[in-house]
A and B are shown apart, each in its own frame.
Chain A
Amino acid sequence: DTAVSQTPKYLVTQMGNDKSIKCEQNLGHDTMYWYKQDSKKFLKIMFSYNNKELIINETVPNRFSPKSPDKAHLNLHINSLELGDSAVYFCASSIRDFDTGELFFGEGSRLTVL
């Protein structure tokens, strides 16, 4: 059983389109995240949700909108895709426990915008 699963794994689309990436975790964690990894492998946090509530929203264009229908799911919707959005997007989760802080990552969704 995959602990943190993302779909799709690969996404190729044209500029201007709208796309979504879904994430689900079966670890019972309270906190979920979206990270963006660029072509130089730099990992940057985008959003963090705790029990469906947004707690971290980094400087991300408002074309990116996360949605958390319940604490096991955190989806990412991207409007009007741009070339610079091409990256690997990682979903992650963690226990809402500040003494651990360990992140469990999904396998990533590679987005290519043409």
Chain B
Amino acid sequence: AQSVSQHNHHVILSEAASLELGCNYSYGGTVNLFWYVQYPGQHLQLLLKYFSGDPLVKGIKGFEAEFIKSKFSFNLRKPSVQWSDTAEYFCAVTKNRDDKIIFGKGTRLHILP
């Protein structure tokens, strides 16, 4: 079965620390990859996406992610986190020409001021 794995369920960091959240998927072939963020009490919104081209993708708020095809990974990074980055982060995958977007189980990020 197709799946998306986020290995870190809960991450606690201090402000200014560097962040890397892992995401692995199990699809073969061409995929589109996404990171969504859900701030406390809010709806999900797109952080960044990868369809093709440069495997290093830059998103909003200083986030970036790197697609490594050989590792089936799309890890999210930020060099220096802020308290306002406290949120739930979801990795998601869809195969080309497929409406079904599969989400990982999310990683809760808590930034200490």
Listed in ascending order, the chain A residues whose CB lies under 8 Å from chain B are 31, 40-45, 48, 50, 55-56, 90, 92, 94, 98-103, 105-108
User: What's the nearest-Cβ distance from chain A to residue B93, in Å?
Assistant: 9
Counted as pairs of residues, one from A and one from B, with CB atoms less than 8 Å apart, the total is 54
Residues of B within 8 A of A (CB): 32, 34, 36, 38, 42-46, 49, 51, 88, 90, 92, 94, 96-103, 105-106, 108
Are A56 and B44 closer than 8 Å at their CB atoms?
no
Are the CB atoms of A107 and B42 closer together than 8 Å?
yes
- Docked-complex contact A105 and B44, CB < 8 angstroms: yes
Establish whether residues B49 and A101, one from each chain, have CB atoms under 8 Å apart when the complex forms.
yes
> Is A106 touching B98 in the complex (CB atoms < 8 A)?
no
Q: Whole-angstrom distance from the CB of B75 to the nearest CB of chain A?
A: 19
Min CB gap A97→B, angstroms: 11
Q: Closest CB of chain A to B4's CB: distance in Å?
A: 10
Q: Which residues of B contact A99 (CB under 8 A)?
A: 51
Distance to closest chain B CB from A92 (angstroms): 8
Point out the residue from B45, B99, B100, B106 that lies within 8 Å of A43, measured CB to CB. Answer: B106
